[in-house]
């Protein structure tokens, strides 16, 4: 059996709902072998982020080198990168190993408002990482920062997606979690056409790590050889199930349920 491999370069969430932990759970559920390079350790739970400890830069490049020397990933995702120095080394290493299928989740702020990316790092993100991204997956506030445009309507999102596309990402997926209305619309721009992925908005406070889980699912499907639209369609189905079937863990914004998609698939058979 061929085992596809995916690498996540991201921060650790001690609470287990976001970051590296969400990525590994998602890879596992989608049948892909998960590997990690940890950029920062966060002390975090469903109530918020209590501490952020970046890993020394040599420790980050060495983790990536260990993987590069032995275990070529079929797809790579980046999550929390924290500062420009980390962004530079991560993008250099990805280029050095000629890794393809790169999903960039431009994580900036945690649900409770804690900064997971320093402001000085925005230029580095645009300059070094976007040009090598197969797809970038900003939420609405992140797309506003990257495009310099205020986003209210779907048309505003389309304009922002075009601006971000022109920064070099091959595909731009602006997620709808921070919008309003009954429909939950995620918008993809591939440089030629816009595609909308729509589901029903679920009313819940348990949305910690939705962005990480969604981008990890896209990464897992790209690793298996799916094209970008197929990968996003499966990721949308995965995150919908994971939010719908919530776990009620913790007293704040609880995590999503990474097992739910497996159950949903079994029920469909
Ligand atoms: N209430 C909801 N109901 C259905 N789908 C949702 C809901 N909230 C988020 N999603 C989906 O989850 C995915 C992630 O979107 P979102 O905009 O929440 O990302 P995010 O803000 O980066 O997440 P986070 O920072 O919490 O990890 C998208 O596919 C979005 O459609
Ligand atoms: C480590 C980490 N990465 C990403 C997010 C965004 O959800 C988070 N809360 N924590």
In the predicted model, what is the mean pLDDT of residues 193-200?
A: 97
* Residue 17 near ligand 2, beta carbon < 6 Å: no
- Pick the catalytic residue from 210, 213, 219, 256: 210
Which-ligand-closest: CA of 256? 1
Mean pLDDT of the residues in the chain: 96
pLDDT for residue 238? 98
Q: DSSP per residue over the chain, as a string? A: -PPPEEEEEEEEETTSSSHHHHHHHHHHHTT-EEEEEEEEEEEEETTEEEEEEEPPHHHHHHHHHHHHTT---SEEEE---BSHHHHHHHHHHHHHTT---EEE----B-TTS-BSB-GGGHHHIIIIIGGG-SEE---HHHHHHHH-----SHHHHHHHHHHHHTTT-S-EEE--TTS-SSEEEEEEE-SS-EEEEEEEPP--S--BTHHHHHHHHHHHHHHTT--HHHHHHHHHHHHHHHHHT----SSSSPBP-TTHHHHHHHHH-
pLDDT tens track for 35-72: 999 999 999 999 999 999 999 999 999 999 999 999 99
> Given a cut of 90, is residue 188 above it in pLDDT?
yes
- Pick the catalytic residue from 16, 17, 68, 209: 209
> From the alpha carbon of 175, which atom of ligand 1 is closest?
17
Q: Is the ipTM of this complex over 0.95?
A: yes
pLDDT tens track for 131-161: 999 999 999 999 999 999 999 999 999 999 9
Nearest CA to ligand 2 atom 4: 19
Testing ligand 1's pocket by substitution, the residue of 13, 139, 141, 210 carrying the most ligand atoms inside 8 A of its CB is: 210
In the annotation, is 211 catalytic?
yes
pLDDT tens track for 252-262: 999 999 999 99
> Given a cut of 90, is residue 34 above it in pLDDT?
yes
- Pick the catalytic residue from 36, 68, 212, 256: 212
Q: Which residues contact 149 (CB under 8 A, 6 or more apart)?
A: 143, 156, 159, 160, 163
Please name which of 40, 38, 59 lies closest in space to residue 51, comparing C-alpha atoms: 40
In terms of DSSP bridges, do strands 135-136 and 75-78 run parallel, antiparallel, or are they unpaired? unpaired
Testing ligand 2's pocket by substitution, the residue of 16, 110, 239 carrying the most ligand atoms inside 8 A of its CB is: 110
* Residue 80 near ligand 2, beta carbon < 6 Å: yes
Map out the domains of the chain as residue ranges: 5-268
In the annotation, is 159 catalytic?
no
pLDDT tens track for 208-249: 999 999 999 999 999 999 999 999 999 999 999 999 998 889
4 CA to middle of ligand 1, Å?
26
pLDDT for residue 211? 97
- Split at pLDDT 50, 70, 90, the class of 113 is confident
pLDDT for residue 248? 87
In the annotation, is 11 catalytic?
no
pLDDT for residue 246? 83
CATH topology of domain 5-268: 3.40.1190
32 CA to middle of ligand 1, Å?
22
Chain length of the chain:
269
Percent of the chain with pLDDT over 90: 94
């Amino acid at each position: 059996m061929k085992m596809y491999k995916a690498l996540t370069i991201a921060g650790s969430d001690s609470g287990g709902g976001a970051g590296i932990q969400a990525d590994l759970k998602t890879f596992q559920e989608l049948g892909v072998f998960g590997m990690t390079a940890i950029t920062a350790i966060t002390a975090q739970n469903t109530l918020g982020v209590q501490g952020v400890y970046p890993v020394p830069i040599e420790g980050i490049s060495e983790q990536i080198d260990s993987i590069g020397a032995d275990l070529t990933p079929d797809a790579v995702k980046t999550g929390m990168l924290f500062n420009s120095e980390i962004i530079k080394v991560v993008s250099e290493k990805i280029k050095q190993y000629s890794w393809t299928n790169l999903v960039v989740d431009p994580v900036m702020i945690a649900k409770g408002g804690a900064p997971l990316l320093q402001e000085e790092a925005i230029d580095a993100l645009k300059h070094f990482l976007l040009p090598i991204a197969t797809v970038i997956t900003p939420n609405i506030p992140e797309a506003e920062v990257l495009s310099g445009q205020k986003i209210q309507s779907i048309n505003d999102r389309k304009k922002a997606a075009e601006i971000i596309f022109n920064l070099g990402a091959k595909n731009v997926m602006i997620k709808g979690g921070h919008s309003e209305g009954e429909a939950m619309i995620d918008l993809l721009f591939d440089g030629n056409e816009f595609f909308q992925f729509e589901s029903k908005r679920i009313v819940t406070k348990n949305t910690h790590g939705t962005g990480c889980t969604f981008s990890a699912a896209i990464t897992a499907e790209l690793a298996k050889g799916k094209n970008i639209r197929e990968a996003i369609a499966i990721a949308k189905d995965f995150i919908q199930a994971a939010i719908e079937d919530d776990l009620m863990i913790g007293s704040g914004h609880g995590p999503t349920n990474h097992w739910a998609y497996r159950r949903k698939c079994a029920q469909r058979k």
